């Protein structure tokens, strides 16, 4: 019985480590107009292109309009309302 318990514990522990080691899929997406927002998936739309950056890219920017005139960070949107920012307006898919 002790071997079975130890084996189950080892398998459970290995599964937990594998789950924690999986990378999170979070991105900062930016469009050509410089609107940037947080997203949890990469989307492809005909005629629309996005730049995708790692989630920590946001923290390495000052988001100062005078310095980073190209980029404007927009408010986080719930990913269940799939869409993208375009010139300050949220466009849903």
Give CA separation, 31 vs 2, 11, 60, in Å: 58, 44, 18
| DSSP letter assigned to residue 22 | S
Give CA separation, 69 vs 48, 49, 66, 73, 86, in Å: 21, 19, 6, 11, 16
pLDDT (0 to 100) of residue 51: 92
pLDDT (0 to 100) of residue 79: 57
Global pTM reads 0.61
pLDDT (0 to 100) of residue 1: 55
Chain segment 12-60, per-residue pLDDT in tens: 655 555 545 555 578 989 998 888 888 888 888 888 899 999 988 877 7
Contact 46, 82 (CB under 8 A): no
Q: How many other C-beta atoms lie within 10 A of the C-beta of residue 29?
A: 19
| DSSP letter assigned to residue 40 | S
Exposure on the CB side of residue 40, measured as CA atoms within 13 A:
8
């Amino acid at each position: 019985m002790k071997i079975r318990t130890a084996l189950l514990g080892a398998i459970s522990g290995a599964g937990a480590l594998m789950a924690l080691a999986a990378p999170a899929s979070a991105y900062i997406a930016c469009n050509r107009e410089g609107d940037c927002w947080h997203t949890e998936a990469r989307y492809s739309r005909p005629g629309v292109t996005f730049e995708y950056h790692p989630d920590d890219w946001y923290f390495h920017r000052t988001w100062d309009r005078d310095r980073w005139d190209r980029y404007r960070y927009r408010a986080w949107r719930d990913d269940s309302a799939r869409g993208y920012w375009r010139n300050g307006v949220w466009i849903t898919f």
